Structure 1
Amino acid sequence: MNRLSRIFPKVDPFSLQTRLTIGVATFSALGLASLASWTSWKMQEILIDSHKENIKQIALRLPRDIEIYNDMLPVEIALQKAIDNRSDSNILLWVKSVDAKIIAKSTNFNLVSPSHVTELTSLSKMPITAEVNLINGRYFILYGEELKLKGRYLGKLSIVKDITNDQTMFIAMVKSLTVASILVIIIISLIIAIYIQRSLQPLRHISQMTAAIKPENLAETKVDLSNAPSEVKDLAKTVNMMLSRLSQAWEKERQFTSNISHELRTPLTIIYGYLQSMLRRKQNLTEIQLEVLETAASETENTIHILEELLDLARADSGYLRFNLGTYRINDLVNEAVEMAVKNSSRQIEIEVESDPIMVKVDHQYFIQVLLNLIDNGVKYSDPDTKITIKLKRSENKGIIQVCDRGHGITLQHQSRIFDRFYRIDEARTRSAGSTGLGLSIVKTLVEGMGGNVTVSSQVGEGSVFTVSLPRLPDNTSDN
């Protein structure tokens, strides 16, 4: 059972393996079934034809036998003598006169009961060509023709041959052949399935390797199938070329993001500083000038914030994002993040603790950034008169933080992409709310970098719940 489960781990009705197996097995089954049927039909034909030929020979030679015996005996005795000479235990002959009376009949036909003989001899019409009939559960070949002697009509000759034994043996042989054919078809189907499964193993290997590819290991990933068929080797070569081009494109994009972020952050910081300096001298500015400078300073600050997030993502992609992990109580970190969030927002933020202090190993700075991003996301996408709730829970080996809002909610269509970079559900509303589309992507990168994961569950019109799960340390662990 275990071996079969390893060979056939799961049957996918739409897979290439299943389709090939069913197709080849079906054609093999049809071929074997057709061959078995043709063989059975041909053997039946040969068997019946041999019996028919035997009856025809009897009908052909009987008049000559009668003529020979008639030279020495009266015609009635000669007729009976010839019939007994040509009949045996499974061949019955009789001759009926014009008035349908039997004038001669085989005396040594003893395989069937008298009732069968009576029923056979009472048949009013016999076929002029030999044919097989089933009478009372037994198989007979029937034949009839006119019997003449030197041009004189003697009567109607009827010949019956009992082939029940041969037919029964043939039917038993056909049943055995059918069972054997079914077993052969099953065995062949299993062999075909195993062969196809092994033949497709290189393709499955390519699929597994490509499924495990991540942006950070594109350059090192290579599909190597030395023992695969030539066509699969060509496919692997094409996949390797594609991976190489993707790696180059990813590296160029990452390098461009990093470079442009570095190059733009310094001049924008300088510009922001000049704008702030001018705003501090607002007594010398007109109302319109003050409004323009405030708008420019705000947009510059937002742009610097975007560049900093891009730099964080670029460092994470390059593996240069370093985590200074330490042991902390989630409760303390959440309180600290909430205090910072309240200073920048008038929104009510509530903390619900369902367990004792939870110890985790995280980077203090990045963890606070994760919470602030999630709180800021809830503030931006919920009505001002609703509160943000942070719930602290524990599972068997996880510390769980849930940031809940009563906002507009996220449809299932968008939930799968909510953590993608620059992904916005509503362009107009997110821009007006100051969203860059990078906050949740930063959250996912930082949480996974600390060994945890983040998910979202949401219902339209009821709000969203972002859940951060981190490995939990034993309760007796001392914190920093």
Structure 2
Amino acid sequence: MKGVKWLISKQNSLSLKYKLLLWSSLCMFIFFLLFNRILFEVILYEFKEQQQEEMAKKAQTVSTLFSINDDEDKVNKWLTDMVINGERIRIIDSSNMVHYEASSLYNTNVPDAVFKKDSSFRKIKTNDYVLYVYRTPITTNNFTGTIEVSWNMKVIMHDIIESMQRVLFWGGTAAAIVSGLVGFILSRQLLLPLREMVRTMNNILQKGLNERMPLYQTKDEIGHLTNMFNEMMDEVEDSFNQQKQFIEDASHELRTPVTILEGHFNLLNRWGKDNPEILEESLRTSMQEVKRMKQLVTSLLELTKTDVEEKTFPKEIINPYDRLKQLIEDFNPMYPNIAFFLHEDDKDVAILIDGQQFDQIFRILVDNALKYSKSEEIILNISKVNEHILLSVIDKGIGISPEHLQNLFNRFYRVDQSRSREEGGSGLGLSIARNLVKKYKGTIEIQSEVGEGTVVTISFPAVYIS
């Protein structure tokens, strides 16, 4: 146990490569020892089971030789030459007297000499030995008796066991060394992506977020890990760049009204407070800038709300036709010179969304169409394609050039900076709308041609059709 605890404590300070090498070698060595132990026991069992047959063959050989020539000297020489370590061979007459005996390292007097008329095999266990005894009768012209072959299994198996243990131990050691070398090579190959990942991380710390791991074409866990790492870094870099751009844009947007306020306050502080006209103009301008700042902060808070988890969003089944019809009625008094049209293919369609946020999305889109398109008519269209509801806001205004389309959903992005400021826009409306649409598993896209107008299309899953 102490050795295991020491090994565990030491392996914590090793690199993953050497941990794999250590544990693969150790496991292979233990597995080989267990396998060899089982193999050894099986071989030993089979060996012992075959001994009766081997002893019977030896007894038959002795009987054949004794029948050919029963000369005492020759018989003793034959028996001495035949006997192996741990074996005793005796020829016993019918009166239980031993006529011939030869042994080598038998180391016991058990069993007693006994005449047997029939062949028999016995296993005798003592505190010190396990004896196999085989007896078979022998009859010649001048002799009747029993041939007894006895094996002291402890002695016989000692050399065999020693040889097998040496082979198994050194075989296990060789297997551990080979497995260690193979494990070392495999660990280097398998851990190559991890080393590349560490190198990439170090480069990221030193050079920035644009570093990536080389792509691996394998479809195993390592290949998936490298792909996931690169995708994660893409997300991190995009988020970082967006956050950086957001801070820069927010600082710029807030700097303008703060600078204007500071200028008017300095003007009033110097001599404008005594001039009613200047005082009134400065207060009016300051109030406009305060309203812009309030609108900007409100939009920023709204954008932050749309970044929360989808599960916090309330949902209800709504009919988009009824909601858009009410929206048009709300806009009509404010824009009496604008013609609003609502077209539908099917009034009995529904989507799953929070009603207030549905209104917020389309207020943003309609408000943008009214402010920036110079269109005299706004068309709202509802259609169903497969299992999706398509909702479109169409204007016949000035349109948007292609180079601006891909940036329209970026925070604070404006096609016309000066005109947007005159209209009071913050450049956050489309970002808020896109975030809300995505939260409800929808998509939003914009198509536009300069001089022809703009079409904003939103797709939501249809969850109910009456």
TM-score (norm 2): 0.42
TM-score (norm 1): 0.41
